[in-house]
Structure 1
């Protein structure tokens, strides 16, 4: 054995020394290192005993692993603070400065994931609404004067031929910061008046309330409001405007219940006289749409390539409606006023008003078979509501001025008078039969835009101005 050892030793030594023939004694080989197991860890002070965690109750966990698990769960570091485990044998955990085995890393990662998942998610709050409703007053009639309350309860009707023109200012209502486009009395709650303004608000007024006349300020529209209408039960308001939408609001709570979005500025809305679930809208693209509130969609559409819709009005039976549109772009004056069949969606006549003016307002007579149209020619025309819908060329109501303002007109409850706003800030009262001017009442310094007779109290009329004022005469 010694001979074999020496022979092999010489050969190996010579090879290591590059073939040098001189004998060199063999250097002793270093003792092989003891392989370190993955579970090996330098000795340290014993970790405190930690109770077994619930998620690991199904198996035994040594004290060391429980200490690591408890430390990770208590500190709950964010995921970005943990280095991603690599394929190497181990890594140094931030803040510990020692080797961590794969087993400990797996336990640490599981504990961290569990602690992150256990953090409750923030509550899913709906985005804050930009709409603001201010119930600044009461809509109750409890604070009304006794004489007004008596008239409202009695629902007194005007006797034909006995009505007189209101001349005395009764109430002045201030709340809009810009022009008021439309006003309307509530039919079922006669002490309430709604107004739509260019300031983007709809105001509800408790007109004769002793303490606070402004009852609601509705700010659901994101732009100017063009029109507002009460529902037949007096519990809801439908408004439309430049934000390309119509909105239905519960008056009592002041909350919006439905929104009807369109691809056009909505200029005018009207409830169907027989079916309160239907309403008609007309907009800047010339489109007329009949909506069903129950499903929130369009059920009929009336198309004829019209200009912007200025006004619409249902007949009393709800079978027909009138539309007035701007024809300045198309230069086709025969389409300025059209009578439509509601069911068949077809025009019954489109040569009703052929003069070279647009009409800002159309209104049916309460009982006679005719309607009036407010012309930009500074007069009110009267037209038969029977086919062939003939214009009366021998009767006009003229003395007031329109001059490009969206001036509106209206019939009194008995149909014996016509009231019209005017660009000079006055209200003009005409005799329906003779077209004679009965009275001119100065209401505002600037244009009077809309007028509305009270639906039950005789000789009371509301009006609104281009400067944002609302006044009641009677």
Structure 2
């Protein structure tokens, strides 16, 4: 399975467990029927006219939301292969995230630092989160959708306090922006599925842990290290139980860590070049998908 250029992310369908979506630099979104014995390609969606940076399944319907360098987010019916709506922006779109408590709403973040909340029913942006930020690298909603985390490229501004911001979704205000003051950008942020904590993948080649309660303190005594980031947009993913944390790595491996102790458990060689994204299956606890810089996609048990 794969693309003709680098794959930026993979996402499992929450309602159709055999389907995996991927977004590639080859301008396509692809849907894979993972356990099909013959051809695993279910759909190749060519609605974007430039590289696709992110793709997410809707929680309840077989819809795919993708964002790309053609300054648009696009909603597509994956069963029909038809485009439902286009959300035009004034910036290349880096990341899209559905609100977990309302799948009619999604966040988008782009290379000009704009953060918008969109309504798929109207096609309009209902909120804008203004903070004159750098490129938005990742977004993550809390489970109730009332808060979200943004991660920003602050390398050009020398203001590291905006690297990670926790926002109040409804009030459109930052709850804290003094969360992470190291001089590294964070290509990925993820809430723990059950505990009041979140993690951030750091370009300093480690994953940092934070409290999800104000003042969102960095845990200075624990971190996950062993894998490499080295400037690649490396993502991480929690297991269903929250006991394990998996991360891609610049050396092409998937690294597994014990969440409670942050101990390194094992690694799998997935690709010869950087493994950019990993995603645990939403139902099967021992299945993980990964994608890579050379265009490959693999699923491991």
TM-score range, shorter chain: over 0.9
- Counterpart CA distance in 2 for 1:214 and 1:455 is 20
The residue aligned with 1:358 is: 185
Q: 1:235 Cα deviation (Å)?
A: 1.0
The residue aligned with 2:279 is: 452
The residue aligned with 1:325 is: 152
Q: Does 1:285 find its partner at 2:112?
A: yes
Do the aligned residues in 2 keep the contact of 1:280 with 1:290 (CA within 8 Å)? yes
Q: 1:206 Cα deviation (Å)?
A: 0.3
The residue aligned with 1:314 is: 141
The residue aligned with 1:67 is: none
**Residue number among 221, 242, 261 corresponding to 2:69 in the alignment:** 242
Q: 1:210 Cα deviation (Å)?
A: 1.8
- Counterpart CA distance in 2 for 1:211 and 1:308 is 40
**Residue number among 13, 28, 45 corresponding to 1:186 in the alignment:** 13
Normalized per residue, which structure has more helix?
A: 1
Q: Does 1:305 find its partner at 2:136?
A: no
Normalized per residue, which structure has more strand?
A: 2
- Counterpart CA distance in 1 for 2:82 and 2:51 is 19
Which structure is richer in relative contact order (CA contacts within 8 A, separation 6 or more)? 2
The residue aligned with 1:415 is: 242
Unaligned runs of 5+ in 2: none
Q: Does 1:270 find its partner at 2:97?
A: yes
- SS of equivalent residue, structure 1 residue 340: strand
- Counterpart CA distance in 1 for 2:22 and 2:76 is 14
- Counterpart CA distance in 1 for 2:123 and 2:298 is 35
The residue aligned with 1:32 is: none
| CA displacement, residues 403-459 of structure 1 (integer Å, 9 cap, x when unaligned) | 000000010010000000000000000000001000011110000000000000121
1:122-201 equivalence runs, <5 A: 173-174=1-2, 176-201=3-28
Runs of 4+ in 1 over 2 A off after TM superposition: none
Q: TM-score, normalised by structure 2?
A: 0.99
- Counterpart CA distance in 2 for 1:241 and 1:218 is 13
The residue aligned with 2:270 is: 443
Do the aligned residues in 2 keep the contact of 1:187 with 1:234 (CA within 8 Å)? no
The residue aligned with 2:210 is: 383
The residue aligned with 1:19 is: none
How many residue pairs match? The answer is 301
| CA displacement, residues 104-139 of structure 1 (integer Å, 9 cap, x when unaligned) | xxxxxxxxxxxxxxxxxxxxxxxxxxxxxxxxxxxx
The residue aligned with 1:72 is: none
Q: 1:212 Cα deviation (Å)?
A: 2.2
- SS of equivalent residue, structure 1 residue 455: coil
TM-aligned CA distance change 1:298 to 1:318, over 3 Å: same
Q: Does 1:428 find its partner at 2:255?
A: yes
Larger Rg: 1
- SS of equivalent residue, structure 2 residue 102: coil
- Counterpart CA distance in 2 for 1:437 and 1:260 is 41
| CA displacement, residues 15-72 of structure 1 (integer Å, 9 cap, x when unaligned) | xxxxxxxxxxxxxxxxxxxxxxxxxxxxxxxxxxxxxxxxxxxxxxxxxxxxxxxxxx
- SS of equivalent residue, structure 1 residue 334: helix
Q: TM-score, normalised by structure 1?
A: 0.63
1:59-74 equivalence runs, <5 A: none
Q: Does 1:295 find its partner at 2:295?
A: no
Do the aligned residues in 2 keep the contact of 1:378 with 1:400 (CA within 8 Å)? yes
